[in-house]
Structure formats: structure tokens, C-alpha cells
A and B are shown apart, each in its own frame.
Chain A
Amino acid sequence: ETGVTQSPTHLIKTRGQQVTLRCSSQSGHNTVSWYQQALGQGPQFIFQYYREEENGRGNFPPRFSGLQFPNYSSELNVNALELDDSALYLCASSLAQGGQETQYFGPGTRLLVL
């Protein structure tokens, strides 16, 4: 086990609603990255947080936002949910090492938007 936990495991929402997903990183890790994985595709990078600040962002609209807390846990918030937001949301924690870090994934949250 990686020591990375996510909650909830599954979630059903309707279009237009807002959702908050949570991630607790592995002990000693200061960096959390979030990914969206649609069925049959590889994970897509949403953003990364390092020491409570956004440290990189993929091609996702501003309605995808995040937070990292002093204990390095993190939240992903998605506003105005769309049907295409249905996916597996993965977080990964790592210890920043100048781009060489290895990421360890949590089990993911499966989001279904109806």
C-alpha cells in the first residue's frame, strides 16, 4: 500500500453541482498531484501543489481548483459539473526532488455526473 488515501471512494452528482474530493498524502511527502482518468485513457494531469501553492497546471478550466493544507493533505474542487467530468480522479503524493520525484497514487474517487 502507498499510504495515500482518498475520499470518498464513489460519488454521484448531477450537472451543475459542485464537488470536493479529498486526498491524504504519504507521510513525509510535500507534494500532491491530481489527475482525471476517463475510461480507457491514461490519467490527465490537472494540477500539482507543493507546500500549499499550485506548482503546475494541465489543460483544465478554472472551475477545477485545489487546495493544499499545512499537513500536505489536499482537496480538488470542481464547480458547475458537466457530464464529461465523469471519471476516476486520482491523487498522487511525492517528495519534491527537482523533477525526479516518484509519485505514489491513492485508490481514486469515481465520480459519476448525471
Chain B
Amino acid sequence: RKEVEQDPGPFNVPEGATVAFNCTYSNSASQSFFWYRQDCRKEPKLLMSVYSSGNEDGRFTAQLNRASQYISLLIRDSKLSDSATYLCVVNESPRGGGFKTIFGAGTRLFVKA
């Protein structure tokens, strides 16, 4: 089982649609969670952190369910400019010490006019 798994995609949606991305992680001791956005041939950029209480930033809502080890991202009223790859990211502190960041493979979103 992969440490962080995302919907394989791609998702093709019309402008104005609501789209949901799902992510699961395998390590129950994972500490922090993020969604990043990556445009073609560019570096990943932070979209939002994810908290157990859920958090919203404009059209974007992120949720974390620690019991199910599940993270979600919802985009409402999607725009053409939302077309990108969405990466689920988990931070761990392994037992041996140190720090480790694990990215999912990403889900590609195409928003069409």
C-alpha cells in the first residue's frame, strides 16, 4: 500500500462545477497535512493546510479525518485557472527521529469552458 494515495484522475469538469479530491495516508502517527497545487512544468505551491476542524479559503475547503486517515479538498465554482495537478502532502516524524514528507502522486484537473 502506498503511503499517500490519491484519486488517479484526470478529472475533466466544466466551469462552475464542484470537484472533490480524495487522499488517504497509511501512517496513523502522521502530524500535518497539506494540499499543494502544481502547474505544468512549475514547482508545487501551497494551496492550504488541512486541520481536523476543517478549513475554508474562498472556493476551497479542506477536511481531515484522522480516524479514517482521510483528507479531502473541495473546489466550488471551478474556474479555468483551477486547471492544475493537486498534490496531497503528509508530514511524518519517524520513530528513529527526524522528519519525512510524503507526496501523493497528484490528481490532474482540467476545467473546460
Contact = CB atoms under 8 A, between A and B. Distances in A.
A43 B4 CA distance: 12
Complex A-B, nearest 4 residue pairs according to Cβ-Cβ distance, in ascending order: A56-B98, A42-B103, A99-B31, A56-B99
Nearest to A99: B31
23 contacts: A35-B101, A42-B4, A42-B87, A42-B104, A42-B106, A43-B103, A45-B102, A45-B103, A48-B99, A48-B101, A54-B98, A55-B99, A56-B99, A56-B100, A90-B43, A90-B44, A98-B31, A99-B99, A100-B91, A103-B46, A105-B43, A105-B45, A106-B43
Contacts, number: 62
A105 B100 contact: no
Interface residues of A, number: 27
Nearest to A104: B46
Contacts of A77: none
Interface string A83-104: 0000000100000001111111
User: Chain B: interface residue count, which band?
Assistant: 20 to 34
B63 to A, nearest CB: 18
Interface of B: 4, 31-32, 34, 42-46, 49, 87, 91-94, 98-106
B12 to A, nearest CB: 17
A45 B101 CA distance: 6
A42 B43 CA distance: 11
Contact of B93 (A2, A35, A54, A99): A99
Contacts of B87: 42-43
A37 to B, nearest CB: 8
A100 B32 contact: yes
Nearest to A33: B101
A86 to B, nearest CB: 15
